[in-house]
Amino acid sequence: MPPRLELRNITKSYPGIIANDDISMSIMPGEIHAVLGENGAGKSTLMKIIYGAAQADAGEIFCDGKPIAAHTPATSRALGIEMVYQHFALFESVTVVENIALAVSSTFDLDALARQITELSNRYGMPIDPHRRVHDLSVGERQRVEIVRCLLQAPKLLILDEPTSVLTPQAVVKLFETLRQLAAEGCSIVYISHKLDEVQELCDSATVLRNGKVTGTARPKESTSAQLARLMVGAELPEMHVSPSVPSDKPVLEVRGLTAPARDKYGVELKNISFEVRGGEIVGLAGVSGNGQAELISLLSGERTHGNALSIQIDGKAAAHLNASERRKLGMAFVPEERLGRGAVPPHALWQNAVLTAHRSGLVRNGLVDRKQASNFAAKIIERFKVKANGPQSSAQSLSGGNLQKFIVGREIALEPKLFLVAQPTWGVDVGAAAFIRQTLVDLSRSGAAVLVISEELDELFEICDRLLVICQGQVSPPLIRTKTNREEIGLLMTRVDRGNGTNGRGEVAIQD
């Protein structure tokens, strides 16, 4: 039997960089094959070449033994190759069902397709409303749309780029069941992930990339995480150092009875949210996306203000009525979920992006930007946070996700905040950069700052947080002490069904006094 997909000596270079250097691999029908590698290792480029969104400079691709000529996404899809992008290929201005209709070649019957989507998404435990506009969906919900879109095609080869980062543990289990079932039906799966435990659980074989080259192949089920990580990073991963926290006496962030209506008809209403974050500790907010995180983040960051000034207090001062800039004056810093567009202006240089939030740190004089100061400031961040970039002049969009995130986090930390809000700190960030960012957050909190991490990745929260909160349907659970709870308990809280009489109907949870 010929392999479902075979790559022979694929080489692709962009100006100044060889993204893929002589890569060969093959995947049999029904095989689940992992492609491991850090960001910038060439995974994304390779996937684009397989999918036909980019053309290799040299090398050949065979599908079921036949060479693919004149390769475009359309020919790939005709061959049954489907891809779930890491940066979603969805149109924001139209609905879920319209998005999916664009990718399926059947007749244009939106009602029938909507029923199919509802049915399929429920079967795989990823419920989505087909008539919502993508613009109103969270990142996690968008990913579900992508996955369902591909599954509707009954693909022969499915490429998944870090698909589990926003799913609950229970949903991951379900997704894996789906993928195994697909593989058993003969569908080959290319699974890109940096989560080694998942790769070990799911994948039959793995190709590891580093700097555009294949550094090894492995049978993940027979290898240890350490072995795989070494192939990937080329060195041992630094170990996390989490020293015990010494929380301050007074909370730095205090949220009291925060209630807010939904942003729009698809938003989530926030109901009587109360919690606090003290200096010196990291508090994590877990939850499946679309449960009110977006609303809470915009209220905390000051993008949205609130009439009841006392419902949010920063460092003991009423802050809910203040805008983002005024809250920053109180010592708050904020790293949003979207790096490009909200965390940074994509076409602008790093030094210009530094000015966006650091303008109070002497970068602006007499109303004029001091370019030299700004450049120095950006250069210091690049050096201190080990950002791979061609200096302060490089544009934000030219950096890989992990490096840009390091820059943005670094920019905010350089402001020496008392309160640090960060949403999805390691979304789409490679394992090395993610470890670095997490360590940075831990170090920041141990130096006395209050850190609130909003994340859909439980592993991350369990690794760095002192206390955990869970948001579900606009309500926030009482705090749980990290060392006294576990993933299953959090997972249940993330998906709990409101039993009608509030949120506290759980007896066995390790609630803090």
Partner 1 sequence: MDLFIAIFTGTIIAATPLIFAALGELVVEKSGVLNLGIEGMMLMGAAFAFWAVIAGLPMPVAILAGALGGAAASLLFGVLALTFLTNQYAAGLALAIFGSGVSAFLGRNFGSAPIDALKKIYIPYLSDIPVIGPMLFRFDPMVYFAIVMFFVISWFLYRTKGGLVLRTIGESPETAHAIGYPVIRIRYLAVLFGGLMAGLAGAYLSVAYTPLWVENMTAGKGWISLALVVFATWRPLRVLLGAWLFGGMTILQLQGQALGIAVPSELLSALPYLATIIVLVIISQNRQMLALHFPASLAKPFRPAT
Binding piece for partner 1, criterion CB under 8 A, among 87-95, 168-176, 296-304, 344-352: 87-95
CA atoms of 447 and 440, how far apart (whole Å): 11
- Helix (H) or strand (E) holding 253, with range, is strand 251-260
Q: What binding mask, one character per residue, do residues 229-268 give for partner 1 by CB under 8 A, x or -?
A: -----------------------------------x----
| 102 near partner 1, judged by CB under 8 A | yes
3-state secondary structure at position 195: coil
**Smallest distance from partner 1 to CB 34, Å:** 23
Applying CB under 8 A, does 18 fall inside the site for partner 1? no
Question: In angstroms, what is the minimal distance from the CB of 502 to partner 1?
Answer: 33
Check: CB of residue 149 under 8 Å from CB of residue 103: yes
∠ CA(395), CA(399), CA(401), 5° rounding? Answer: 135
Starting at the edge strand found earlier in the chain, the sheet holding 5-14 runs: 17-27, 5-14, 58-63, 66-67
Count of CA atoms in the C-beta half-sphere (13 A) of 29: 11
Report if residue 154 touches partner 1, rule: CB under 8 A. no
Number of residues that bind partner 1 (CB under 8 A): 24
Residue 54 Cβ vs partner 1, minimum distance, rounded to whole Å: 6
Work out whether 512 is an interface residue with partner 1 (CB under 8 A). Answer: no
Least distance from C-beta 301 to partner 1, angstroms? Answer: 20
Count CB-CB contacts under 10 A for residue 214.
21
Q: Compose the 118-137 pattern: x for residues touching partner 1 by CB under 8 A, - for all others.
A: ---------------x-x--
Closer Cβ to partner 1, 17 or 74, answer by number: 74
| 72 binding partner 1? (CB under 8 A) | yes
Choosing from 24, 55, 325, 390, the residue that interacts with partner 1 (CB under 8 A) is 55
The DSSP line for 467-496 is: EEEEEETTEEPPPEEGGG--HHHHHHHHTP
Enter the tokens of residue 310. 């006392």
Given 54, 175, 422, 435, the residue binding partner 1 (CB under 8 A): 54
Q: Does 74 sit near partner 1 (CB under 8 A)?
A: yes
Alpha helices (H) in 342-424, listed in sequence order: 350-358, 371-384, 401-413
Q: Which of 6, 38, 98, 337 binds partner 1 (CB under 8 A)?
A: 98
CA distances from 368 to 241, 344, 362, 365, 375 (A): 42, 20, 11, 5, 14
Q: Which stretch binds partner 1 (CB under 8 A): 96-104, 245-253, 301-309, 447-455?
A: 96-104
Residue among 331 and 401 whose Cβ is closer to partner 1:
401
Question: Least CB distance from residue 52 to partner 1, whole Å?
Answer: 8
Query: Which of 73, 80, 169, 346 contacts partner 1 by CB under 8 A?
Result: 73
Calpha distance 99→230 (Å, rounded): 40
Rank residues 132 and 133 by Cβ distance to partner 1 and give the closer one: 133
Q: Candidates 2-10, 48-56, 190-198, 504-512 — which segment interacts with partner 1 by CB under 8 A?
A: 48-56
CA distance 7 to 63: 9
Give the nearer residue to partner 1 in terms of CB position, either 277 or 294. 294
Tell me: does residue 70 bind partner 1 (CB under 8 A).
no
**Under 8 Å CB-to-CB from 443, ≥6 apart: which residues?**
none
Among 85, 377, 385, 427, binds partner 1 (CB under 8 A): 85
End-to-end CA distance of the chain: 62
Coil/strand/helix, residue 136: helix
| Rounded-to-integer distance, Cα 321 and Cα 310, Å | 8
Compute the Cα dihedral for 233, 236, 237, 238 and give only its sign: negative
Under the criterion CB under 8 A, does residue 112 sit at the interface with partner 1? no
Question: What residues contact residue 146 under an 8 Å CB cut-off, 6+ apart?
Answer: 84, 85, 88, 89, 90
Tokens of 63: 């599908």
Does the footprint of partner 1 cover residue 92 (CB under 8 A)?
Answer: yes
The window from 85-93, 116-124, 302-310, 457-465 that contacts partner 1 (CB under 8 A) reads 85-93
The distance of closest approach from Cβ of residue 89 to partner 1 in the complex, given in angstroms and rounded to an integer, is 5
Give me the least distance between CB of 65 and partner 1, in Å please.
23
CA dist 195 and 61 (Å) reads 27
Specify the stretch interacting with partner 1 by CB under 8 A; choose among 98-106, 332-340, 462-470, 489-497.
Answer: 98-106
Which spans of this chain sit near partner 1 (rule: CB under 8 A)? 48, 53-55, 72-74, 76-77, 85, 89-94, 98, 101-103, 108, 133, 135, 264
